Structure 1
Amino acid sequence: MSEHGSDRPRSPAAGTDPLGDPFLRTCFAVPVPPATFLRRQRLTEHLGQAPDTALTLVNGCAGAGKTLLAADWAARLGRPVAWFTVDACGQAPGVFWAYLLEALRASGADELKDIDCPADAGAVDHGLLTRLAARLNDRDRPVIVVLDAYDRVTAPEITDQLGFVLHHAGRGLRLVLVTRTEPTLPLHRCRADGTLTEIRDAELAFTPEEAAALLELHGLRLGHDAVRALVGRTRGWAAGLRLCALAARQSSDPERYLKEFEAGQSTIADFLLAEVLERQPPATQDLLLRVSVLDRFCPDLADALTGRRDAGPVLAELHRANAFVEYLGHAWYRLHPLFAEILKAHLGVRLPGLETALHHRAAQWLRHAGPLPHTLTHGAAAGDWEFTARALVDDLALGQFFTGLRSGELDELFARMPPGTTGPEADLVRAARELAGPDPDHACVHLEHARRALARAGPGRAAARLGCALLDTHAARLAGAPDRAEHAARTARELRRDLPAGLLDRHPELPALLRTHLGSARLWAGRFTDARAVLSETAAGCDAATALPREEALALLALVDFLTGWPTRAERGALAALADAERFSLAEPAGLDLVHLVLAAVAVDRDELDDAQALLDRAASVRPVPPDPVTAASRVIAQARLHLARGRTEAALETAGSAVPAAVASPWAEDHTALVVSAAHLAEGRPEAAVEVLEGLEGAVDREAACTVAAARAHLAAGDPGAALHLLDRLPADGHRGPAVTVRALLVRAEAAGRQGDLTTAHRLATRALADARRERLRRPLLEAGPWLRRLLRADVLQGALRNGPAARPDARVRTPPHTARQTALVVEELSGRERDVLRRLARMMSTEEIAADLFVSVNTVKTHLKSAYRKLGVNRRSDAVHRARELRLL
């Protein structure tokens, strides 16, 4: 007992802490931002809410710019701020409160001068905290306290004591915590009653615009793309940007340096290793080094790489401590990209040779529990290509080489597969890459190797066999071998029952691709009904995984419609394919060239020859991959018909003679080629040669009715109307012939009747033909009919059919009756100049992305103009907009 009869410790001497050491005045100094500090208005304004809320939390990782932000705000606040940078005193409650009281007194809080500092370094009397809270509560104006580096407070009782004072100080205290970790204060309660201001890591990150301004303060002016790339790599991390800027200033080419610098060999590495990695316990350091090989990870995956079972709480604590471990949700994490680079480089130094083994462990774990793309990435990184190829094939993901979703990524990944990699799955991957590339002929060799290996393997491996059937169907389609395609498709159907339940449901693109390939092969064989059945099933899909085969199926269906004489239906189908491709942003849809070919063929029938040529040119520029025989034949026929329509008969004959490589001939391709050749002979005045070309095709079973009509026209030109009518009478009455065929048949009958002296019948048939032609906007058959039609009908009637269709050519004059023009003016607003620019390009079948590039505007801007134009024109589809604009002479 002391001489005064008390054993209480004495209060420390003035100017000292409970340990008797003098206060370190640097702990109370507000840091001064450097000359290169960038004041960010959005953060300053947010922090400006601090005087109005009891608690403000500035929580971010090391080097996020927390302290400088708070210091700049405090210096510009215009009123005293009690600043305390927590150091080692965070472990001793008595020392902590002694420093905090000294910071309060230094800020001018005179009413606290008689509150003695704690005498015991390890404890604080509750009465002291009560007196402090009461004095603060009595203040007319709150005192603002900034506790910097609060994450250094390790004694849990300090946070409890601070919460007590904050609660009972009422409006007399405004507390700002600058910390790397989440304090254990009752933040949920503060959020609920609106007394909390929060600035966290995501908000502290620099935007590209802010990063550009920061770099300028360091004397660096970089391009927009370079700045965005740097922000992406650093995730806007303030310290990383500043360190990069300082290093780049020493380079003769700063932009190149920032693009290519190695994070593992930089001052950033020194910072993160010292400030983050080396602050962790050895076991946590080992975990961080091992997971650095992963793009993302969950506790179980991290345990698989470490051989431990405690990754869950360790990762949660690292995330809470802002230790550059980001939480992605659903128990998945990832490292900050720069931190991951540095750790990976450090892994090679500390644990040489381990990286390959870690990739292998990750691939094995992910194969059973993780996403397939990550499995493939780690399998490839481990150099285990047989495992990687088998993982792809067993997952039924082989079709993704052709769907556009991950085709480029897969091609790039497996381009690194060594030639010596064996196994049927490896050969299937090679075959898929060849079929999806510019030289599919080599795929057959790999397919044969895979087929033999699977035969030697015996039963089982259904996924590999199904993959082989898919590629066989594709190869047969490209080769023009319908029977092979049918056999492969049957094999695929039989294999489906041997697959694990639900596996095929995860890959709807595989059956969609099978049906599309089979439909194309059937179309080549001239089996239009069977082709339509399987293609319609694919076209009915609606998800992104089947977008590309669906677009291709729509294009093939449009071709079937055109070949059977339904041009308007074909146009609608082709435009639907374009809209679907645009909806899913397909960069290089497989059927886009065929879409343009169908639209070009329709344009020829409508005598819109400039449009037809533009569409042919676009079809030729779509992709470097060799087309299948269907597309190749369609291109030949469309180009030959255009030459013929322009009067270039020699060019038409030369083009029609172009060979289309295929295992078997296509009946419709032969028929339409014969139609071009026959028409060329007629145009040159050789009707007998025209008849000879079509001999054997006219009226033959399963051949084009158009050939019979063309043969009848040739006989008529040769002076034999009876033979012409005889051929037309042999056409089946229940044939599903479209207007492109029936209009031509009516015109031949009309001319034959006229030559036989029956002008009444001739006039009736010709008038009916004109009515049907107007509905379909068919002009070419009327022009091909020759001068007899002009002699038979009044000139104004014929000219009306040729010029006043619903979608007149852009250079044609549309004669709109006065009352119609007045009604139109009432319902249509005037289009802006930019809306007309967009519509003109729309009329040329350009996609939204192409229009945006052509006009040097964004895709969203184009869509805005389109919506406005649709509204003004009273339509909701691109084709209707073009038709309506042409009706109104706006194009």
Structure 2
Amino acid sequence: MLKAKLALPPAQPMSLSRPRLLDLVSGSLKRPLTLLCAPAGFGKTTLLSAWVNEAVDRPAVAWLGLDEDDSDPVRFFDYLRAALQGADVGVGSSATAPLSGAGSPSPKDRMASLLDDLTELDHPVVLVLDDYQAIDNPELDAALTFLVEHLPEHLRLIVATRKDPQWPLSRWRTRQWVAELGTDQLRFTPDEAMAFLVRSMGLALDAESARTLAARTEGWVAGLQIAALSLQRHVQLEGATNLAQVATAFSGEHRHLIDYLAAEVMRQQPQMLQDFLRKTCILDRFSADLCDAVTERTDSRQMLVQVERANLFLRRLDDQGRWFRYHQLLADFLREGLAEPERIELHRRASAWFESEGMGKDAIKHALAARSDADAVRLFRSLVEDMLARGELPTLLAWLDMLPASLVRRHQDLAGYRAWLLFMSGRTVEAEEYYALTGAPDVAESSQEHKGILFALQAFLAITSDNPARAIELSRQALDQLGSSTSFFRVWALFYQGLGLLRTGLPKPATEMLRQALELGWAFGHRMTALDALAHLAPLMSAQGQLREAQLLCRASLERCSPSDEAQAPISGLILIPMGMLAYERNELHEAVELLEAGVALCRQLGNLYHTLAGECALAKVHHARGAREQAWNALATAQDLADRSRNPRRQRMVRMAVADLQLREGNVAAAKQSFEEIRAAVESSIEGQLLLARLLLASNHALAALRMLAAVEASCRSQGQAGLLVTVHVLQALGHRANGGRSATLGHLEKAVSLAASGGYVRPFLDGDGALAGLLRQVSSAAPAFVGGLLEQFRQPANEDVVEANTAGLTGTQLEVLRLVSQGLANQQIATRLVITLGTAKWHVSQIFEKLGVRNRAQAIAKARQSNLL
């Protein structure tokens, strides 16, 4: 991380104090956003630098100077978090939580996570984003829009840019949320022009000449500075006798004014200095050591002092004078004059220096600019694993885009990475093209680790393409090549082998693989993949009769993530969703809703679509069990929309299964049959599909056909050790024999179900079966008296007792309770403790309350709630 991007800018040498503008900036902080928008050279950064150094009683300032690389959301939020921490703002790293192949969270969701940490800000802070025009990412524009519209009371935002950002400025102007300083305010007045020319530039000009120059340059700061430099040179060569005449003759209307004046300035400099400027202009930011490496000189420190003294558009980026940059106008002019061979050589030297300093990302940027393909590929391979684990997917894809397509196609690992990244970014057609290139590794060119990574990538792509058998084989090959490595891809390969085994109907070995992925993920620090494994492992353990063990494993994992480690709050969604599913099995419906709602919200932040869909489908089932039919169908409608937009058949089938299940629960057998028939060919070989079909047959009065199917399912569950699923199988068999008049068989299967269910506390298989089971349960109570007694008690409870009436603001029952605690002055941690939820969940509920009420802070939320009779 380049500290110069975060350092508060020092006072610029030779700059002019402009009290009227300093007052405008200070006064603008009454509004959430201050926007400085003007073309290059109008002194935006200089003004903010002066305000930082001269303003009286200014708030704490978090400064971030942006460049084009910050269009990558992970990089942007890394720097944004660091800038805030530099201003003593306590923020975690939830906005940059590590990611795996599940996909990236949207920048808006990252911003929501960051805002959770900013909610309790207790002192005024100003966040300055300089050079925002460098950001080219609509999703980051949306994230900053979200920030402005939910800005905490003590935080203000100042943005300097050359063009208006893609934000709803018209709406904000109407609401008086934005203070704007533009070209008209930033222009030099005649008096300021006079003061600048005389005091800062040392020119003995009369007032009339100064006014003429100000008029000719239209108050353009950079234009006036270039003109003054030309006049300084004139004084050096010919004296000051006719200075006023030269100033009056100056024309600010020249078509190529910037090039003309810059050329004049450059022409007047010593050749050695011109050469130094030309060779260093390729650098966005530079130090003396870097300049030495690029220019092959040893006196760059002295040269930079000379450039600064000559006022040649050099800006210090830190108080120590270690890092600098050129004004963009000068840099653009100088780069235009570079010949291609020289430019390539300079970038090559810069790349070598950055690599030697351990700054790989800068090194690859210059290697790509130098067209050093071999170096770029080598650097890419050295960086890719860490960047994948961190989720810096846009940057990786941009680097691959800059490499020749023929080169990427020749290297199987590069083609695999590109296919994976294209899948993640939604460019499925292109992804398939590169996926086709990832065949067996070329033994001649590949190391063992290289081949292992390629096999792991192919395993992911096979899972994505709904080919679990191939994923198993590829994962095994990856593990063979990676051996005892601590690589991210070793954990990845274990995870995808587990998924492949699970999806081919082999739950026992799948459990072992997922356990290994979980354990190694924790050991190696790859939390995202570890918890993705847990999210699949916990339901699998429940199916195997280990409901209590699964709950304990989830709770232990949650302890490792939050609240003690707030930085990982979004990934805790991968734990909360399976915990909600397990709570449903025990008929703990209120807890299930809380866990699933929070888990779905966090998985949305994480960008994990699969688990978001699984959570919505589970939530629909829980809502229906509580009697909240409308909420149940709303959850499935949301899931259906997400699945359809993904265009992923497996995800669409998962939702259709949930739809058929809910239709069957409501007694709409015809609709359930139609929904099931749409997916029957793809799901009827799975146990879940067979159980749903058996229920359909029972509901259609085909008990014998259902019993034949259930006998086969029972045998399969026994052979695979799925004692948890056997509870449901035996309940359905009991219902089938009851419909067929077999009393002895009915009680026999019901007793088996009770015996299996009691140790784990499986309740829902009985409640989801048939109300008539209550009478039969009394006859098998000897198998587990206390358990059956509890079951009978729950049969007597009304289904809708847990439903909370909706309110006009759309707040859930939990959010109403959180709102009540907010009104009592409780902090997020206190709310979490009171409601027995994680800190991350409490923060998310507070954020949702703000959004639903259309407010930006707690005080506004309380006032709005009282107006709406919510308190």
Normalising by the residue count of structure 2, what TM-score does the alignment of the two structures yield? 0.55
Match of 2:458 among 446, 454, 472: 472
Distance of 2:775 and 2:436 partners within structure 1: 58
User: Paired residue for 2:290?
Assistant: 301
Q: Secondary structure at the match of 1:468?
A: helix
Q: Deviations over 1:244-301 (max 9, x none)?
A: 98689xxxxxxxxxxxxxxx997566666767x6676543443333333233334443
**Structure 1 pair 353/432, CA: closer, same or farther in 2 (3 Å)?**
same
Distance of 1:753 and 1:205 partners within structure 2: 71
Q: CA RMSD in A?
A: 6.1
Answer yes or no: is 1:640 the counterpart of 2:660.
Answer: yes
Whether the aligned pair in 1 keeps the contact of 2:441 and 2:454 (CA below 8 Å) is: no
**Structure 1 pair 625/559, CA: closer, same or farther in 2 (3 Å)?**
farther
Q: Counterpart of 1:304 in structure 2: which amino acid?
A: A
Which runs of no fewer than 5 residues in structure 2 stay unpaired?
1-13, 28-41, 56-127, 133-155, 165-169, 197-213, 222-253, 548-580, 585-591, 808-816, 829-834
Answer yes or no: is 1:738 the counterpart of 2:762.
Answer: yes
- Measured after TM superposition, the shift of residue 769 of structure 1 is 1.1
Q: Counterpart of 2:461 in structure 1: which amino acid?
A: A
User: Paired residue for 1:715?
Assistant: 737
- Measured after TM superposition, the shift of residue 475 of structure 1 is 2.1
Q: Counterpart of 1:467 in structure 2: which amino acid?
A: I
Match of 1:456 among 437, 444, 463: 444
Match of 2:392 among 387, 406, 411: 406
Which runs of no fewer than 5 residues in structure 1 stay unpaired?
1-30, 46-59, 74-201, 216-220, 249-263, 774-781, 783-797, 813-823, 873-888
Please tell me whether Structure 1 or Structure 2 has the larger radius of gyration of its CA atoms: 1
**Structure 1 pair 344/591, CA: closer, same or farther in 2 (3 Å)?**
farther
Q: Counterpart of 1:650 in structure 2: which amino acid?
A: A
Q: Secondary structure at the match of 2:713?
A: coil
User: Paired residue for 1:677?
Assistant: 693
Answer yes or no: is 1:327 the counterpart of 2:317.
Answer: yes
Whether the aligned pair in 1 keeps the contact of 2:617 and 2:636 (CA below 8 Å) is: yes
Whether the aligned pair in 1 keeps the contact of 2:644 and 2:652 (CA below 8 Å) is: no
How do residues 400-799 of structure 1 correspond to structure 2 at under 5 angstroms? Answer: 400=388, 405-421=391-407, 422-438=410-426, 446=434, 449-452=437-440, 454-457=442-445, 460-496=446-482, 510=489, 513-524=492-503, 525=505, 526-527=507-508, 529-530=511-512, 532-534=514-516, 536-537=518-519, 549=529, 552-553=532-533, 555-557=535-537, 559-560=539-540, 567-569=581-583, 571=592, 574=596, 577-578=599-600, 581=603, 586=606, 591-622=611-642, 626=646, 631-659=651-679, 670-700=686-716, 701-702=719-720, 704-705=725-726, 706-729=728-751, 733=756, 738-741=762-765, 750-752=774-776, 767-771=789-793, 773=794, 798=796
**Structure 1 pair 675/325, CA: closer, same or farther in 2 (3 Å)?**
same
Whether the aligned pair in 1 keeps the contact of 2:45 and 2:130 (CA below 8 Å) is: no
- Measured after TM superposition, the shift of residue 465 of structure 1 is 1.9
- Measured after TM superposition, the shift of residue 316 of structure 1 is 6.4
Q: Deviations over 1:166-187 (max 9, x none)?
A: xxxxxxxxxxxxxxxxxxxxxx
Whether the aligned pair in 2 keeps the contact of 1:538 and 1:549 (CA below 8 Å) is: no
Answer yes or no: is 1:342 the counterpart of 2:339.
Answer: no
Matched-pair identity in %: 17
Q: Deviations over 1:832-873 (max 9, x none)?
A: 9xx9xxx9xx99999877766555444xx379959999xx9x
Whether the aligned pair in 1 keeps the contact of 2:660 and 2:675 (CA below 8 Å) is: yes
- Measured after TM superposition, the shift of residue 721 of structure 1 is 2.4
**Structure 1 pair 352/531, CA: closer, same or farther in 2 (3 Å)?**
closer
Structure number with the higher helix fraction is 2
**Structure 1 pair 270/607, CA: closer, same or farther in 2 (3 Å)?**
farther
Distance of 1:37 and 1:347 partners within structure 2: 35
**Structure 1 pair 490/476, CA: closer, same or farther in 2 (3 Å)?**
same
**Structure 1 pair 226/646, CA: closer, same or farther in 2 (3 Å)?**
same
User: Paired residue for 1:363?
Assistant: 351
- Measured after TM superposition, the shift of residue 496 of structure 1 is 3.9
In the alignment of these two chains, the number of paired residues is 602
- Measured after TM superposition, the shift of residue 644 of structure 1 is 1.9
- Measured after TM superposition, the shift of residue 413 of structure 1 is 4.0
Whether the aligned pair in 2 keeps the contact of 1:315 and 1:325 (CA below 8 Å) is: no
User: Paired residue for 2:800?
Assistant: 803
- Measured after TM superposition, the shift of residue 205 of structure 1 is 12
Whether the aligned pair in 1 keeps the contact of 2:664 and 2:696 (CA below 8 Å) is: yes
**Structure 1 pair 752/406, CA: closer, same or farther in 2 (3 Å)?**
same
Whether the aligned pair in 2 keeps the contact of 1:548 and 1:586 (CA below 8 Å) is: no
- Measured after TM superposition, the shift of residue 660 of structure 1 is 8.5
User: Paired residue for 2:361?
Assistant: 373
Distance of 1:844 and 1:645 partners within structure 2: 33
Whether the aligned pair in 2 keeps the contact of 1:558 and 1:574 (CA below 8 Å) is: no
Q: Counterpart of 1:637 in structure 2: which amino acid?
A: M
Whether the aligned pair in 1 keeps the contact of 2:598 and 2:841 (CA below 8 Å) is: no
- Measured after TM superposition, the shift of residue 406 of structure 1 is 1.7
Distance of 1:229 and 1:382 partners within structure 2: 39
Match of 2:272 among 283, 286, 295: 283
Distance of 2:381 and 2:46 partners within structure 1: 45
Distance of 1:469 and 1:853 partners within structure 2: 44
**Greater RCO structure (CA 8 Å; 6+ sep):** 2
**Structure 1 pair 350/696, CA: closer, same or farther in 2 (3 Å)?**
closer
- Measured after TM superposition, the shift of residue 675 of structure 1 is 2.7
Q: Counterpart of 1:379 in structure 2: which amino acid?
A: A
User: Paired residue for 1:789?
Assistant: none
**Structure 1 pair 354/608, CA: closer, same or farther in 2 (3 Å)?**
farther
Whether the aligned pair in 1 keeps the contact of 2:735 and 2:746 (CA below 8 Å) is: yes
- Measured after TM superposition, the shift of residue 679 of structure 1 is 2.5
Whether the aligned pair in 2 keeps the contact of 1:389 and 1:425 (CA below 8 Å) is: no
Distance of 2:841 and 2:776 partners within structure 1: 39
Distance of 2:181 and 2:402 partners within structure 1: 26
User: Paired residue for 1:188?
Assistant: none
Distance of 2:270 and 2:606 partners within structure 1: 49
Q: Counterpart of 1:343 in structure 2: which amino acid?
A: A
Q: Counterpart of 1:288 in structure 2: which amino acid?
A: L
Distance of 2:499 and 2:349 partners within structure 1: 43
Whether the aligned pair in 1 keeps the contact of 2:734 and 2:747 (CA below 8 Å) is: yes
Distance of 2:706 and 2:44 partners within structure 1: 85
Q: Counterpart of 2:278 in structure 1: which amino acid?
A: L
Q: Counterpart of 1:597 in structure 2: which amino acid?
A: C
Whether the aligned pair in 2 keeps the contact of 1:366 and 1:372 (CA below 8 Å) is: yes
- Measured after TM superposition, the shift of residue 568 of structure 1 is 4.7
Q: Secondary structure at the match of 2:462?
A: helix
